[in-house]
Amino acid sequence: MSGNRKIIVLRIFAKGPHSVEELVEQTKIPQSSVYRITNTLMEEGAIQRLLGRFALTTYGRKKYAGLLEN
């Protein structure tokens, strides 16, 4: 997984919950890559799924705090 793509997705999550479709639209990252990134982030506990959207967890905000700011 491209680290840069992961950072881009994390920064969008820092603004609030987003669906995969919203991430694809905003980032222009291929949907398959967005799914891979979100699955990885869910496995590590950095994001959670809420009503069809994904949101950063407290753990995710702490773990990636240095990367979340533009």
Each residue's pLDDT tens digit in the chain (70 positions)?
Answer: 457 999 999 999 999 999 999 999 999 999 999 999 999 999 999 999 989 899 999 999 999 998 887 6
Say which residues have a Cβ less than 8 Å from residue 34's Cβ, sequence separation at least 6.
9, 20, 23, 24, 27
Instruction: Please give the helix or strand (H or E) that residue 54 lies within, else none.
Output: strand 53-56
CATH number at residue 29: 1.10.10.10
Q: 65: how many CB neighbours lie within 10 A of its CB?
A: 10
Residue 66: Cβ-neighbour burial (10 angstroms; 0-12, 13-18, 19+): exposed
Q: What are the tokens at 52?
A: 């069809």
The boundaries of the domain holding residue 15 are 3-67
Q: Give the pLDDT confidence score for residue 1 in this predicted structure.
A: 44
Number of domains, the chain: 1
